[in-house]
Amino acid sequence: MTTAATPRPSVLFVCVHNAGRSQMGAAFLTHLAGDAVEVRSAGSAPADAVNPAVVEAMREVGVDISAETPKILTVEAVRSSDVVITMGCGDACPVFPGKRYLDWRLEDPAGQGVDGVRPIRDEIEQRVRGLLAELGVPAA
């Protein structure tokens, strides 16, 4: 999975607004893998801010994403990632040969309160733990 130029795997999480699912995925991967994985997140049409219910749901499990901001998806971000995980970004994600693409179909937390976000958060955490196992990176 790693190349000579990248001594550690690089993972990019993508959703439309980069305000919910992709932020949670990136936060869990960073939280569980530390510096063992390079982590990015982006959106094809980024929102102005991270969903407050997502921030609160992550705070409940000890992960603070209150300082995160949605970022625009760039071709360079995809090109420099080993694994690209799409979370409902549709056809907006550029596809490059040699990249590993995973499509995680998850409910959109937009418009939901913390109660609605919790099951999505928990599903993302389980998928991130599975990804770490596949990458051979021990979870913290």
23 is catalytic: no
What is the distance between the alpha carbons of residues 18 and 15, in angstroms, rounded to a whole number?
Answer: 5
- 104 Cβ partners below 8 Å, 6+ apart? 21, 25, 85, 86, 87, 124, 127
> Could you say which DSSP state residue 104 is in?
-
- From CA 10, how far away is CA 137, in angstroms rounded? 12
Q: How far is CA 1 from CA 9, 87, 100, 130, in A?
A: 6, 21, 9, 16
Q: Are 23 and 81 in contact (CB under 8 A)?
A: no
Residue of 12, 14, 15, 135 with catalytic role:
15
Q: Which residues of the chain register pLDDT less than 70? A: 1-6, 89-93
Looking at residue 3, its pLDDT comes to: 43
Residue 15 falls in the annotated catalytic set: yes
C-alpha span between 43 and 117 (Å, rounded)? 19
Closest CA to 24 of 63, 74, 62, 60: 63
Please list the alpha-helical segments (H only) found in 34-89: 52-60, 75-79
Which pair of tokens denotes residue 45? 């049409």
Catalytic entry in 65, 89, 117, 128: 89
pTM value is: 0.91
Clarify whether 93 is annotated catalytic.
yes
Where does residue 15 rank: exposed (0-12), middle (13-18), buried (19+ CB within 10 A)? buried
Of 93, 106, 128, 135, which residue is the catalytic one? 93
